[in-house]
């Protein structure tokens, strides 16, 4: 079994409501790392784009050593269910501020980002081509939210390299401030981390005008922090799809109570595509 549908009648009802309303009132929100991309490569877990940068030592061994120390300090805070959300947000902002400063001091270049994306460690899920084509062909906005340490430029390059970068896609992620020579000299605010990836950050962006009346949403994620990605948005119907990359009986029980479709075993996009096909059929 590669998928779980906790409440099939409820999911069917959501699909019918969204389909009847029309695709012009529909948009999709997705995380990038381990959601649109695979969580395992050659049988080994791949945690994030930023981890590939570290492991490949594209910024030198000293950066990688310090980055691992930061991970050991802050990651347990991120995943601890007993730590209050506000405390998590403060810790995540601190972590990324320190991490970004390390990158800038180490001289992060566009070549380092390109090398990371071409490392062979960033693999889109099977059937991703149909996913992107369905949205593009039906003019359905796709918002890609990411707290990735390699930011907008990495995701932009990855999609462009696969010939999947199109006008219906907006990437909401951390980004550089660059000088006239292209050198990275700072980070644009607000810093996006795993616990503030939500649609409130798009209200001052051009994309908001495209989606504010599209109140039916399909959302894809893999991390507990991603669960807030539709917060702050005035939606009418929402389909929640979880890529349960780390499957345990406890996780299954927890997530079956909260999500409409759970994709197991680092599975493909085909079930997502079937839902999209039904939504755009009318």
Q: What is the pLDDT of residue 238?
A: 93
Kindly state which CATH superfamily the domain 44-117 is placed in: Pyrimidine 5'-nucleotidase (UMPH-1), N-terminal domain (1.10.150.340)
Domain limits, CATH 3.40.50.1000, in the chain: 3-42+123-279
Question: How many Å separate Cα 44 from the centre of its chain?
Answer: 20
Q: Sign (positive/negative) of CA torsion 249, 255, 256, 261?
A: negative
Q: What is the pLDDT of residue 109?
A: 81
Q: Can you name the CATH fold of 3-42+123-279?
A: Rossmann fold (3.40.50)
Q: What is the pLDDT of residue 124?
A: 94
End-to-end Cα distance, the chain: 30
Q: What is the pLDDT of residue 249?
A: 66
Nearest alpha-carbon partner for 218 in 143, 139, 114: 143
Domain limits, CATH 1.10.150.340, in the chain: 44-117
Quote the crossing angle between the two packed helices 85-106 and 61-79, to the nearest 10°. 170
Per residue in 19-65, pLDDT (tens digit) is 999 999 999 999 898 899 998 888 877 767 777 888 888 888 898 89
The edge-to-edge listing of strands for the beta sheet with 26-31 is 3-4, 261-264, 237-244, 216-221, 26-31, 142-146, 169-173
Distance in angstroms (rounded) separating the CA atoms of residues 28 and 239: 10
- Note down pLDDT in tens along the chain; length 282 residues: 588 898 999 999 999 999 999 999 999 999 898 899 998 888 877 767 777 888 888 888 898 899 899 989 998 898 787 889 889 889 988 998 898 899 888 888 888 888 888 888 889 999 999 999 999 999 999 999 887 656 788 899 999 999 999 999 999 888 888 888 777 788 887 788 777 766 556 777 788 888 989 999 999 988 655 555 666 667 899 999 999 877 666 666 666 777 899 998 899 999 999 999 999 986
Q: How far is CA 229 from CA 44, 137, 278, in A?
A: 27, 24, 23
- Residue 278: CA count within 13 A, CB half-sphere: 14
Q: What is the pLDDT of residue 143?
A: 92
Q: What is the pLDDT of residue 201?
A: 67
């Amino acid at each position: 079994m590669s998928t779980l549908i906790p409440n099939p009648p409820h999911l069917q009802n959501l699909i019918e409501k969204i389909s009847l309303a029309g695709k012009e009132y529909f948009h999709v929100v997705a995380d990038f790392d381990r959601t649109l991309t695979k969580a395992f490569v050659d049988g080994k877990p791949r945690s994030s784009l930023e981890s590939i940068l570290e492991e490949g030592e594209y910024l030198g061994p000293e950066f990688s050593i310090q980055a691992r120390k930061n991970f050991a300090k802050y990651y347990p805070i991120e995943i601890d269910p007993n730590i209050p959300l506000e405390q998590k947000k403060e810790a995540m902002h601190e972590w990324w501020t320190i991490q970004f400063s390390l990158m800038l001091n180490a001289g992060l270049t566009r070549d380092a980002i390109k090398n990371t994306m071409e490392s062979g460690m960033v693999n889109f899920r099977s059937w991703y081509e149909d996913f992107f084509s369905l949205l593009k062909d039906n003019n359905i906005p796709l918002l890609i939210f990411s707290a990735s340490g390699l930011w907008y430029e990495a995701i932009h390059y990855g999609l462009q390299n696969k010939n999947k970068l199109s006008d219906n896609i907006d990437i909401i992620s951390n980004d550089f401030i660059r000088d006239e020579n292209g050198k990275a000299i700072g980070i644009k605010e607000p810093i996006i981390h795993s616990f503030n990836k939500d649609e409130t950050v798009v209200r001052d962006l051009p994309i908001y005008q495209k989606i504010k009346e599209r109140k039916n949403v399909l959302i894809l994620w893999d991390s507990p922090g991603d669960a807030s990605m539709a917060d702050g948005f005035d939606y009418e119907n929402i389909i929640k799809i979880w890529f349960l990359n780390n499957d345990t009986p406890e996780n299954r029980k927890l997530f079956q109570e909260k999500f409409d479709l759970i994709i197991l075993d680092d599975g493909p996009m085909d079930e997502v595509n079937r839902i999209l096909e039904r939504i755009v059929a009318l």
